[in-house]
Amino acid sequence: MKMKLDENLPLSLVSILKAFGHDAETTQEEGLQGCPDDQIWEAAQEESRFLVTQDLDFSDFRRFAPGFHCGVLIVRLRTPSREILIERIADLFRTEGAEDWSGCFVVATERKVRVRRPPRG
């Protein structure tokens, strides 16, 4: 899966996700750190990348409706320390069938994963 990691995630996730076979890039690698959310979103869409973020600005299900983009994962942890984030995100991509999340709106907490899929047509 092609994905873009937002600047609010640990950089070390790139190597972990690449080890799982994903094509992971960061906003920092592209000089997008500090850019407006719309610019991050557009870059991910132009590159056909699934966006992984903690940024709640991407949590509006109506604005980011499944099937109208390449997909987004919003990670919502109560205590998102660097280590906990790395562990949770690695676990998601190792065990949750994330390769099927293309075009989906996904929210992950410590305990659950909610996947909203594009409508079947």
CATH of the domain at 48: 3.40.50
Do the Cβ atoms of 50 and 71 come closer than 8 Å?
Answer: yes
Q: How many distinct structural domains can be found in the chain?
A: 1
Q: How far is CA 97 from the centre of its chain?
A: 14
- What is the model's pTM? 0.94
Confidence bin at 62 (pLDDT 50/70/90): confident
**pLDDT above 90 (res 20):** yes
User: Which pair of tokens denotes residue 67?
Assistant: 């099937």
Q: Round to whole Å and give the CA distance between 59 and 51.
A: 12
79 DSSP β-pair partners: none
In a domain? residue 55: yes
Region 67-73 average pLDDT: 95
Give the chain's radius of gyration (CA, Å): 13
Is 121 among the domain residues?
Answer: no
Q: Which of 100, 97, 56, 51 is nearest to 80 (CA)?
A: 56
The answer to whether residue 109 is domain-embedded is yes
Query: Would 43 be classed as within a structural domain?
Result: yes
**In whole angstroms, what is the distance from residue 99 CA to residue 115 CA?**
12
